[in-house]
Amino acid sequence: MPMSRFRYTLNEAVGDPSAWTFTWAIADDVTLASSCGFCGQEHQRLTYEVARGDVTLWICQRCVGRYPVSGVIDGDRFDLPSVRAYIHGLTARQKQRTCQDAIRKVQTALPDLPLGEIVVYFERNLQLSPQHAAALFAGMAQLDDPIDPRIFEVQTRSIAHQDEFGSLDERARALVWPALTPQQRRRLASLGFAPGGARTRRARTSDRRELPAPRMPALSEPAMLDPLPEPTEKSTA
């Protein structure tokens, strides 16, 4: 087992997680600069505010899925599955808002770019088709403050979408590639659609920082928070 593996241990000051209550505030830090007040893990994208008395902390998705933090809505204390379902809904809406904000920024900065169809498509599917992704990401790359395309999900499940990706020119495929999951990349690479120079194997040391894994469930799919992969080593350290 690698020694550097992060163990998701609770900071001692946290005490009993169930003494903390969600405030239902959620933060989407697309720069991945947030850290978790429970476990200390850094480079977090989504964090959730919890309170105990006057003290508040922002905690990571793993800790949300791991610890029985309390949830109260309209004075009623929710059971754990209901808390998790509610958090899942908040998360999906937050991710949708983040994408909508990104589209709006492109619309404002590049009013001549025809984005109307893309907006309609995104609102309907909460994902982008490969063609729409290429057009939008090209716009995003022109912003003074470029937006990371990985906030979007791109559809490649159907043959039609795979072919659509394959029909994009080299530059467009390279623009969309970073937003694809490793599974999507493997599939498209096996069809010969990988943009030139794209690596499909993991190159740990030189890869760009990835969004926190496991990836959030797709907005369009009802899914529970990811179960936690327990480290296999038996250690109490």
Applying CB under 5 A, the residues found at the interface with Zn ion are 36, 38-39, 41, 60, 63
Q: Which two tokens stand for residue 181?
A: 């999951």
**Nearest distance from C-beta of residue 41 to Zn ion, angstroms:** 5
Give whichever of 70 and 107 is closer to Zn ion, judged by the CB atom.
Answer: 70
Q: Which two tokens stand for residue 201?
A: 């194997």
Distance in angstroms (rounded) separating the CA atoms of residues 59 and 34: 9
Distance in angstroms (rounded) separating the CA atoms of residues 154 and 149: 10
171, with CB counted inside 10 A (0-12, 13-18, 19+), is exposed
**Nearest distance from C-beta of residue 47 to Zn ion, angstroms:** 8
Cβ atoms of 226 and 84 closer than 8 Å: no
Give whichever of 60 and 115 is closer to Zn ion, judged by the CB atom.
Answer: 60
Whether cis (ω within 30° of 0) applies to the bond prior to 214 is yes
**Nearest distance from C-beta of residue 178 to Zn ion, angstroms:** 26
Q: Which two tokens stand for residue 31?
A: 């720069």
Give whichever of 56 and 183 is closer to Zn ion, judged by the CB atom.
Answer: 56
Neighbours of 87 (CB within 10 A): 21
Give whichever of 67 and 177 is closer to Zn ion, judged by the CB atom.
Answer: 67
Give whichever of 40 and 178 is closer to Zn ion, judged by the CB atom.
Answer: 40
Q: Which two tokens stand for residue 113?
A: 């770019």
**Nearest distance from C-beta of residue 87 to Zn ion, angstroms:** 14
**Nearest distance from C-beta of residue 50 to Zn ion, angstroms:** 11
Q: What are phi and psi of 191, to 5 degrees?
A: -90, 0
